[in-house]
Amino acid sequence: MLPLAVLEHLPYEHAGLLARVLDERGAPWRTVALHAGEPVPPDPRAIGGLVVLGGDMNTDQTEEFPHLEDERRLLADCVAAGTPVLGLCLGAQLLAEATGGSVAHTTPEIGFIPVNRTPAGRDDPLLSVFDDGTPTFNAHGDTITAGPGVAVLAASDATPVHGLRAGERAWGVQFHPEFDADLVAGYVRGPGVPDYLRANGWEPDDLVAAARRHDAAHQRMGRALLGRWVDLAAAWARGGRAG
């Protein structure tokens, strides 16, 4: 199996639980530190799969973050080539735009938000392992409109597209299955993050306390979802299907 590429926009929004799941399964992978100037991989055929992590920037900030255009291009190429994709928060938004959808700035959804699957989500190879009503960690201020032919897999009360699938092998979720409580504690100390949280009704310490309360259940959800995606990617690399 070729190494998976994990695109990291910010050092305090890293792979987290995903890194542990990948290592436990022996899956080869590497971080692409976009914030440090590493380039977006140009060819989907040279990677075993693509994970696009979250970030504080918006998808339309291409002058400040020109790599966003390269990410959209790679995501579109991955969907066309059948390379497995997992987009998380910003990554899901970029996947939506890369497949004919759009992203709009709206009221932020922050905290541990219950998410439910759509009928398509309950039958989906990845979201089938997700339990409806699970509180999921969120800190996003944008909403997705899915493109033509893109399946909407999950929603919350405030966010009509919380999960999507483009083609057979490319998924995005607006929430953060890769976050555990320690990663939340690091995130709230990121540059500008405390002000963002307070402007939207959250004290950073209160968000960390909520993360501690939900940590065991959130990690179970994250391990199930992330592990399933890694298993699917590995099965496709072997030319088969995950069970």
What CATH number should be reported for the domain holding residue 73?
A: 3.40.50.880
162 within domain boundaries? yes
70 occurs within a structural domain:
yes
The burial class, CB within 10 Å (0-12 / 13-18 / 19+), for 241 is exposed
Domain assignment present for residue 95? The answer is: yes
pLDDT in the model for residue 238: 86
**What's the number of domains the chain is made of?**
1
For 53, which DSSP code? -
- Which two tokens mark 146? 């899915």
Measured CA distances, 76 to 24, 67, 95, 225, 227 (Å): 29, 14, 8, 23, 24
Rg (Cα) of the chain, in Å, rounded? 16
User: Alpha-carbon distance 14 to 33, whole Å?
Assistant: 9
Is there a domain that residue 82 lies in? Answer: yes
Cβ(45)–Cβ(81) below 8 Å: yes
pLDDT-flagged residues of the chain (< 70): 240-243
Domain annotation covers residue 242: no
Q: Judge whether 202 and 194 are in contact, CB under 8 Å.
A: no
- Whether residue 44 lies inside any domain: the answer is yes
pLDDT reported for residue 77: 98
DSSP string, 150-205: PEEEEE-SS-S-SEEEETTTEEEESS-TT--HHHHHHHTTSTTHHHHHHHTT--HH
Q: What is the structure's pLDDT at 93?
A: 98
Edge-first strand order for the sheet with 102-117 is 29-33, 4-8, 49-52, 85-88, 170-173, 163-166, 151-155, 102-117, 134-145
Task: Determine the pLDDT at residue 1.
Answer: 85
pTM: 0.96
Amino acid at 219: Q
Q: Is residue 243 part of a domain?
A: no
Q: Residue 107's pLDDT is what?
A: 94
The answer to whether position 160 is within a domain reads yes
In which domain, by residue range, is 100 found?
Answer: 4-237
